[in-house]
A and B are shown apart, each in its own frame.
Chain A
Amino acid sequence: MIAPLPLAVADGSSLSLAGALGIGIAFGWCLERAGLGSAPKLMGQFTLRDMTVLKVMFSAIVTAMLGLFWLSWLGVVDLARVAVPPTFIGPQLVGGAVFGAGMALAGLCPGTSCVAAATGRLDGLIVVVCFFAGVLGTGLAIPLMAGFYESGSRGAVALPAALGVAQGTVTFVVVAGALAAFAVAGRIERAMAARVGRVRP
Chain B
Amino acid sequence: MTETRALVRALGAMAAVLGALAFGVGAPARSQGAVRDTVVSAATRDALDDCDRGGCSSGAQSISAVQLAEWIRDGRPGLRVLDIRDSSAFATRHIPSAESVELTALPSVAPKPGETLVLYSDDDLLDLQGAAWLTRVGHARVHLVRGGMSAWMTEVIDPVVQGDSATAIAALSRYFGGVPRAPSPSDTVSGPRTKARVRGDFGFVTRRGC
Q: Which residues of A contact B (CB under 8 A)?
A: 1-2, 6, 62, 66, 68-70, 72-73, 75, 77-81, 86, 150-151, 153-157, 166-169, 171-172, 174-176, 178-179, 182
B42 to chain A minimum Cβ distance, whole angstroms, is 4
Cβ A66 vs Cβ B19 within 8 A: yes
Q: B28 — nearest CB in chain A belongs to which residue?
A: A72
Cβ A80 vs Cβ B40 within 8 A: yes
Most buried by A among B16, B39, B106: B39
Q: B11 — nearest CB in chain A belongs to which residue?
A: A59
Size of B's binding interface in residues, CB under 8 A: 35
Cβ A150 vs Cβ B38 within 8 A: no
Cβ B42 vs Cβ A78 within 8 A: yes
- Jot down 10 A-B pairs with beta carbons below 8 A, ordered by A: A79-B39, A81-B43, A150-B107, A151-B108, A153-B105, A167-B22, A167-B27, A169-B23, A175-B16, A175-B18
Given contacts A62-B15, A150-B137, contact A172 B42 (CB under 8 A): no
Given contacts A2-B38, A154-B104, contact A78 B26 (CB under 8 A): no
Given contacts A6-B43, A86-B133, A155-B103, contact A176 B22 (CB under 8 A): no
B13 to chain A minimum Cβ distance, whole angstroms, is 9
Q: A55 — nearest CB in chain B belongs to which residue?
A: B8
Chain B residues near A68 (CB-CB < 8 A): 28
Cβ B26 vs Cβ A167 within 8 A: yes
Please name 11 further chain A to chain B contacts, defined as beta carbons within 8 Å, in addition to the given A73-B28, A156-B133, sorted by A numbering.
A62-B19, A78-B43, A81-B43, A86-B107, A150-B137, A153-B105, A153-B108, A155-B107, A167-B27, A168-B25, A172-B19
Most buried by B among A1, A157, A166: A166
A166 to B27, CA, bound (A): 6
Cβ 8 A contact of A70, one of B18, B105, B108, B125:
B18
Chain A residues near B15 (CB-CB < 8 A): 62, 66, 175, 178-179
Cβ B23 vs Cβ A168 within 8 A: yes
Cβ 8 A contact of B19, one of A153, A154, A156, A175:
A175
B20 within 8 A of A: yes
B71 to chain A minimum Cβ distance, whole angstroms, is 27
Chain B residues near A174 (CB-CB < 8 A): 19
A150 to B107, CA, bound (A): 8
B34 within 8 A of A: yes
Given contacts A156-B129, A168-B24, contact A75 B38 (CB under 8 A): yes
Cβ 8 A contact of A80, one of B44, B106, B133, B137:
B44
B183 within 8 A of A: no
Cβ B29 vs Cβ A176 within 8 A: no
Q: A8 — nearest CB in chain B belongs to which residue?
A: B57
Cβ 8 A contact of A78, one of B20, B23, B24, B41:
B41
Chain B residues near A176 (CB-CB < 8 A): 16, 19
B154 to chain A minimum Cβ distance, whole angstroms, is 26
Cβ A79 vs Cβ B28 within 8 A: yes
Cβ B19 vs Cβ A171 within 8 A: yes
B207 within 8 A of A: no
Cβ 8 A contact of B22, one of A77, A81, A157, A171:
A171
Q: B40 — nearest CB in chain A belongs to which residue?
A: A80
Q: A62 — nearest CB in chain B belongs to which residue?
A: B15
A171 to B17, CA, bound (A): 11
Cβ B42 vs Cβ A2 within 8 A: yes
